[in-house]
């Protein structure tokens, strides 16, 4: 445990040291603190940069993704030069450039029930910046079992939320969400988008809560869910009550489970392609139908603003939300192929048509992104 600061560190943290709420004692708390960041994406980027700048001594990074050009609109810890680089390596480089006095520990692995407790056990606080329900439940349950505070945040389009779970006798994620939503009900940021600035605002609130917990200052967002609406520029707060059945200790979380199964998300082995249904059709096959002049209908169920980004010339735009009231525009006996961005929405559209009596409906696997990759590279990806 560090007992002092070097002269260079004193100069670096001088604006902290002259604040009575921080001072030398508080800065040493920061230097001796160990914080684990789950994800180095939109939320993890500002959290990692500001905790590094603040002098948090040990920062762990969990991420097994690589930097993609689509990340750069919001994941400010990475730059154009980092495209294709491992995110943990890119993040470490930026963090050490901001502050060479910190230690960065990289975990380039997916967080699973098999490794979560081993990874989390060496840290004082966890900052969860993940974007999927299985990992959020996993992080929560591991924090409950280990007794580690979980500083949580999430973002979508123009809205964000943040709170502190698992601190002392406060509520946990399962108090807010006892059960995961049905698969596919809540779109991801890749499907619904996110304002690039939004994770900066919400991530810095998350980082602030981490600093407050380390210092033992202020009122943490424990039992309070902060909601932020960027379009209205409003903050509001909701109370989160602990599960009344948990007396002093969580009685819901007893062990780590299969979170993919719990959330209804099918397992996909990394080395195996996704299974193809008999009602699926590959983009290359759709191209063959077009080139051969086959009599079929290609329907794009994306939103109009997505259609403006890129489109397949043959496709008719019928957004998924409008489809139920536009079914009479389609022939129930026609050969119909549906597509969207990645295949999820068009799969729902196929189910809707089949339930309505359509007999020949297929889903183009991978959506227009797969079309751009496998058929027409001039089509932009988004």
Strand partners for 228: 160, 235
**Do residues 143 and 126 touch, judged by C-beta distance below 8 A?**
yes
Which DSSP string corresponds to 274-291? Answer: PP--TTEE-HHHHHHHHH
Tokens, residue 6: 């070097």
**Do residues 362 and 281 touch, judged by C-beta distance below 8 A?**
yes
- CB hemisphere CA count around 221 (13 angstroms): 24
Is residue 263 part of the annotated active site? The answer reads no
Q: Which of 143, 250, 310, 340 is catalytic?
A: 340
How far is CA 88 from each of CA 36, 50, 198, 318, rounded to the nearest angstrom? 12, 16, 22, 40
Q: Which of 143, 189, 246, 250 is catalytic?
A: 189
**Do residues 165 and 143 touch, judged by C-beta distance below 8 A?**
yes
Is residue 340 part of the annotated active site? The answer reads yes
Which residues have C-beta within 8 Å of that of residue 11, sequence separation ≥ 6? Answer: none
Which residues have C-beta within 8 Å of that of residue 2, sequence separation ≥ 6? Answer: 28, 31, 32, 57
Just list the catalytic residues.
Answer: 189, 340
């Amino acid at each position: 445990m560090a007992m002092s600061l070097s002269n260079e560190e004193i100069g670096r943290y001088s604006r902290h040291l002259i604040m009575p709420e921080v001072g030398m004692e508080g800065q040493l708390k920061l230097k001796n603190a160990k914080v684990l960041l789950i994800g180095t994406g939109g939320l993890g980027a500002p959290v990692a940069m500001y905790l590094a700048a603040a002098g948090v001594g040990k920062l762990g990074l969990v991420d097994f993704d690589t930097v993609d050009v689509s990340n750069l609109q919001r994941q400010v810890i990475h730059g154009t030069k980092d495209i294709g680089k491992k995110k943990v390596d890119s993040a470490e480089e930026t963090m050490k450039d901001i502050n060479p006095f910190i230690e960065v520990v990289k975990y380039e692995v997916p967080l699973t029930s098999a490794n979560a407790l081993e990874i989390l056990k060496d840290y004082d606080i966890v900052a969860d910046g993940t974007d999927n329900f299985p990992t959020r439940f996993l992080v929560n349950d591991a924090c409950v079992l280990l007794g580690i505070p979980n500083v949580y945040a999430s973002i979508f389009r123009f809205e964000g939320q943040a709170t502190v779970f698992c601190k002392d006798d406060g509520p946990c994620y399962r108090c807010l969400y006892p059960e995961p939503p049905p698969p596919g009900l809540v779109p991801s940021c890749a499907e619904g988008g996110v304002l690039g600035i939004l994770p900066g605002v919400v991530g810095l609130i998350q980082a602030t809560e981490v600093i407050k917990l380390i210092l033992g200052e202020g009122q943490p967002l424990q039992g309070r869910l902060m909601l932020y609406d960027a379009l209205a520029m409003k903050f509001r707060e909701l109370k989160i009550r602990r599960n009344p059945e948990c007396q002093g200790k969580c009685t819901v979380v007893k062990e780590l489970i299969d979170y993919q199964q719990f959330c209804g998300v099918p397992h996909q082995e990394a080395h195996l392609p996704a299974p193809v249904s008999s009602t699926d059709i590959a983009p290359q096959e759709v191209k063959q139908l077009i080139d051969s002049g086959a009599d079929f209908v290609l329907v794009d169920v994306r939103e109009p603003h997505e259609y403006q980004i890129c489109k397949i010339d043959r496709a008719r735009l019928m957004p998924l939300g409008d489809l139920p009231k536009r079914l009479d525009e389609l022939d129930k006996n026609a050969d119909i192929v549906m597509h969207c961005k990645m295949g999820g929405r068009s799969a729902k559209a196929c189910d809707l048509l089949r339930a309505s009596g359509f007999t020949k409906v297929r889903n183009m696997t991978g959506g227009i992104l797969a079309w751009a990759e496998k058929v027409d590279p001039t089509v932009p990806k988004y």
